[in-house]
Amino acid sequence: MDDAHALTRLHTEGFERGWSTGEFEQLLSDRSVLGVVSAGGFSGPNGFALARMAADEAEILSIAVARSARRQGIGAALLTHLISSLAQNRIAALFLEVEEENAAAIALYRHFGFAEVGKRKSYYKRADGSSPAALVMRRSLA
Ligand SMILES: CC(C)(COP(=O)(O)OP(=O)(O)OC[C@H]1O[C@@H](n2cnc3c(N)ncnc32)[C@H](O)[C@@H]1OP(=O)(O)O)[C@@H](O)C(=O)NCCC(=O)NCCS
């Protein structure tokens, strides 16, 4: 909960519609939500990943790394820790949605063995009026 402000800053840096600190506080107080944070340095956390668990499945809610800290393996480290924590919680399958034009995130997920299992057309609404599709990806943890 102490990291809610830092996560808000990281989310705003990574996404067109940033989540508020209130939204983060709500998620972090939800016992079905599991999160990992990358400690960063004196300036505080420089990355986080959150997932919601339901029965034996989970969904990645968000993952973001500070712009200045990308391509240093932090996103991969966050996913590694998130997946191992979910597996310890008996989660058998992990899902996520990603904008089809988000090449960096799709590359990261493929690197981790996620496979495309669906596509939601015109799923996101951008400020410029465009509405890219979401890819639905899945990885087995069992
Ligand atoms: C996606 C994101 C979390 C990746 O974090 P990161 O710390 O830069 O990722 P890593 O350095 O751990 O990269 C791991 C692998 O992912 C892939 N990858 C990551 N960024 C990439 C990029 N810009 N282009 C191509 N591949 C990329 C590569 O396979 C990389 O392995 P490599 O460096 O050995 O080639 C980061 O770009 C980010 O915060 N983006 C904005 C928020 C976002 O889009 N989140 C995902 C929403 S679904």
Active site residue 116: no
- Tell me the DSSP string of 33-91: EEEEEE--BTTB--EEEEEEEETTEEEEEEEEE-GGGTTSSHHHHHHHHHHHHHHHTT-
pLDDT of 32-66, one tens digit each?
A: 999 999 998 888 899 999 999 999 999 999 999 99
pLDDT per position as a tens digit, 76-123: 999 999 999 999 999 999 999 999 999 999 999 999 999 999 999 999
Is the confidence at residue 6, as pLDDT, over 90? Answer: yes
Q: Ligand 1 mean position to 75 CA, how many Å?
A: 6
Atom 30 in ligand 1: which residue has the minimum CA distance?
108
Residue for token pair 């939601």 = 120
Which residues does ligand 1 sit against, CB inside 6 Å? 14, 63-65, 70-76, 98, 102-105, 107-108, 111
What's the whole-model pTM score? 0.96
Predicted local distance difference test score (pLDDT) of residue 40 = 87
Q: What's residue 41's pLDDT?
A: 81
Mutate to test the pocket of ligand 1, among 15, 71, 74 (most ligand atoms within 8 A of CB): 71
The residue whose CA has the least distance to atom 48 of ligand 1 is 98
CATH of domain 4-140: 3.40.630.30
Give the active site residue among 23, 57, 97, 116.
97
* Domain ranges for the chain: 4-140
Is the pLDDT reported for residue 142 higher than 90? Answer: no
- Is residue 123 annotated as a catalytic residue, yes or no? no
Ligand 1 center from residue 7 Cα (angstroms) = 17
- pLDDT of 12 strictly over 90: yes
